[in-house]
Amino acid sequence: MTRRFRCHEPGEDAWYWFELAESDRPSRQMTLLGADSVPAVAVDFAELAQVRDICGLLGVQLYEVVYGVAAEGPLEEPPDAEPVTEHEFAVMWGRCRSFRQCDVRHSSGPIPVGTRLPGTFVGAPWPPGRTGVFVDLGLPLPGFVDAIHLFRADAVWPPDGTRAEFEVVDIRVNGSAQLRLRPTATPPPGEPWPRPVRP
């Protein structure tokens, strides 16, 4: 039977929220810090394992940048823990995940926001001009350029195989990991794309 509870660590001024399966291993954990209950952790351990399987260590590191670091392994429910309903947990979970995804600048870890990387446009499963373009960065996870970055620059839609330099603008993690990118430079219409700057 799934159990949900929260407990307070006065010395850390932190509230820990846990969802435990029958094995007493947390399936999800949230950590909220300070008087304002700022979300520091919002980890789904099954999701983290999936990211590890797909993207390896780099995916795990990026997951921890976005959702924080939680201790894995069995957990004993403290005697002073407060029970939490499924609804209460779901509401707080939504708040913490949204905060970690949208309100935290992901400027730490192995590939912080602002990092410049060379890559190759590799197309998308939809027609040119829609949604965006995937980028091969030579990493175990893809990059993606949203179409708005190309529209704003009035740029030619890049053909598959076009190499360019990109800046990381966000890190997305949800079952897998993806770097959201923008080209550091776009050519005038009809002209070739610039090659990446090599150190």
pLDDT in tens, 115-152: 999 999 998 888 887 899 999 999 999 999 999 988 88
- Structure confidence at residue 37 (pLDDT): 92
Which DSSP letter does residue 196 get?
A: P
Among the listed residues 144, 141, 149, 152, the one whose alpha carbon sits nearest the alpha carbon of residue 125: 144
pLDDT at 199: 47
* The dihedral sign for the CA sequence 184, 187, 193, 198: negative
- Among 3-12, 52-61, 82-91, the minimum mean pLDDT is found in 3-12
Comparing CA positions, the residue from 79, 92, 80 lying closest to residue 19 is 92
User: Rounded distance, CA 84 to CA 44, Å?
Assistant: 17
Contact of 15 with 96, CB cutoff 8 Å: no
Residue 69 tokens, joined? 């670091």
The pLDDT of residue 175: 86
Once rounded to an integer, what is the mean pLDDT over residues 25-42? 94
Percent of the chain predicted with pLDDT > 90: 66
Give the tens place of pLDDT for each residue, 100-117: 999 999 999 999 999 999
What DSSP character marks residue 110?
S
Query: Residue 90 and residue 150: Cα distance in Å, rounded?
Result: 37
Q: What is the mean predicted confidence (pLDDT) over 95-103? A: 97
Burial of 109 (0-12, 13-18, 19+ CB in 10 A): middle
Q: What is the per-residue pLDDT for 128?
A: 80
SS3 of residue 81 by DSSP: coil
- Band (pLDDT 50/70/90 cuts) for residue 195 is low
**Shortest CA distance to 17 belongs to which of 35, 8, 5?**
5
Name residue, tokens 């730490």: 108
Higher pLDDT, 158 or 60: 60
In the structure, what pLDDT confidence band is assigned to residue 173 with cuts at 50, 70 and 90?
A: very high
Instruction: List phi, psi (to 5°) of 158.
Output: -70, 130
Token look-up 């192995």 returns 110
Q: pLDDT over 70 for what percent of the chain?
A: 95
- Strand 177-183 relative to strand 143-146: parallel, antiparallel, unpaired? parallel
Mean pLDDT of the chain, nearest integer: 90
The more confidently predicted of residues 88 and 188 is 88
**pLDDT at residue 21, rounded to an integer:** 81
Q: Domains in the chain, please, with CATH?
A: 3-103 (no CATH), 116-183 (2.40.50.140)
CA distance 142 to 77: 39
Q: pLDDT grade, residue 159 (50/70/90)?
A: confident
